[in-house]
Amino acid sequence: MMFKEIIHYFRNPYKSFETLKRLQWQKLQSVLHYAYAQVPFYRDRFDRAGIKPSEIRSASDMFRIPVLTKEELRDAGFDILAGGHNNPAKLKKSTTSGSTGQPTSSYFTLRDWFILKFLLKYRSKRICGFYPVIHKVVLVNANPEEAVLRENKKIINKLIRKRSVSINQKIEDHLTVYRQFKPDVLYGTVSYFNELKNFLLKNQINWLKPKMIFTSGEINYPQTRKEIERVLGCPCYDIYGSTEFKEVAWECSHKLGYHINMDAYFVEFINNNRHVSAFEEGRIVITSLVNQAMPLIRYDQGDTGMYTNGGCADGINFPFMHSVTGRSMDYYELSDGRRIAPFSLVVAVHECAAHAVQQFQIIQKSSDLIVIKIVPNRQFTPVIEQNLHKRYHQILGGNVVTRIEIVKEIERDSSNKYRLVRSEFK
């Protein structure tokens, strides 16, 4: 049965869009009926909304189902587990890093874990040209060094030629692993590869170029990606996902956008209680089509993005996700009522100072104060700083003060990631 499923999932990207839409809708209806019958949390939620699963006949009907927030997910506890799967000890558990101080946990059956954690991930990597066992892989993760050493000793990882390094180790230690292991593929966060890029440039180190890099967990801005690819000497493919869902969308070699795994997720882009049009920005709301233990229905990712339909030259007919510009909670609310996407402020730094900045972070302190922390290199000058002030004035207007702080390093958050943009203003 599992073999048939593997074949099914590997064929799906190349099916016609109409066929995929029918498959997706069948799975969605099955999930809604299953959740209503098996999950007390959803039965109560549907009843309070005055809706039955059989009444969801079109995408617009989905608005009758309330959006599920992270706070509601945390408060639900084990009530959101389906009957027959309500013993967490028998399920696979995945917990968010809790960068907000409030981590959440998701649970999966072994079958669903295999599909979401391994099968879909391998499918996208394979389309990008990755062959397991043939290609050697290094994963850069946030585990302690001791855990990484234990992981590397496992027979299975030696057989499939996979190694791990900890983000807590020094870059010099990573380079030792890279020289000895000679990986074909690297997988980590954008900020890690940006840090590696800066280290190589600063120390003029000859780099053993891998075949490809995969990034996830942070926004991969165009200029950052361009510099990583230039210095590390290989293509960089980005992945959009989360702990709750795993890999939702991914880039292929044509990089026309992120292919949405529509055979595993029903993704909505919404604004003012309606589905937005193509290339119109909206909040990203996701329903998992593959999680019997803990169905997530209309879960608000806290992100914003755009979509378009249409395949690419690879023959893949999954729709595209575009311009995931940041967490909606990190949008900057200004004193004059405007709401600024941080993406525009990031682009301004790239335009004015990309060649002179090793790392930076943009923080909203109040409705009229933006702080830009910069780790400069030798090319950073007062003129560049002045030009950056002018550019921010054009974007933000005269009522918002921008303060540039020169620092030695940018601190990571509790999840060991660099948050490029954030807001401390509530």
Q: Which pLDDT tens digit goes with each residue over 236-247?
A: 999 999 889 999
The residue out of 239, 270, 291 marking a domain boundary is: 239
Which tokens go with 296?
């997530």
The CATH number that applies at residue 345 is: 3.30.300.30
Query: Containing domain of residue 52, as a range?
Result: 2-117+251-328
Judged by phi (left if over 0) then psi (alpha if -120 to 50, else beta), residue 206 lies in beta
User: Tens of pLDDT along 200-232?
Assistant: 998 999 888 999 999 998 888 888 899 999 999
Residues 188 and 260 in one domain: no
Identify whether 383 is part of a domain.
yes
Per-residue pLDDT band at 325 (split at 50, 70, 90): low
Look at residue 100 and tell me whether its pLDDT is greater than 50: no
Indicate the residue among 265, 297, 328 that finishes a domain: 328
- pLDDT band, residue 259 (cuts 50/70/90): very high
d(CA 261, CA 122): 12
Name, in order, each residue with C-beta under 8 angstroms of 303's C-beta and a sequence gap of 6 or more. Answer: 283, 284, 324, 326, 327, 328
**Residue 124 domain-assigned?**
no
Among the candidates 174, 208, 239, a domain finishes at 239
Based on the fold, state whether residues 341 and 409 are members of the same structural domain: yes
Which tens digit of pLDDT belongs to each residue from 371-401?
Answer: 999 999 888 999 999 999 998 988 888 889 9
pLDDT at 348: 84
Structural domain count of the chain: 3
Q: Considering the domain boundaries, does residue 97 fall inside one? A: yes
Q: Which helix (H) or strand (E) holds 311?
A: none
Which pairing describes strands 282-288 and 299-308: parallel, antiparallel, or unpaired? antiparallel
Report the CATH number that the domain containing residue 65 is assigned in CATH: 3.40.50.12780
**Per-residue confidence (pLDDT) for residue 98, from 0 to 100:** 47
101 and 151 share one domain: no
Q: What is the pTM of this model?
A: 0.82
**85 & 112 share domain:** yes
Reference 160, options 141, 132, 125, 118; nearest CA is: 132
Stretch 311-325: mean pLDDT, rounded? 87
Q: Is residue 122 one of the residues assigned to a domain?
A: no
- Structure confidence at residue 329 (pLDDT): 44
Say whether pLDDT at 99 is over 50: no
Kindly report which listed range (56-70, 270-284, 403-417) carries the lowest average pLDDT score. 403-417
Residue 40 domain flag: yes
pLDDT of residue 122: 94
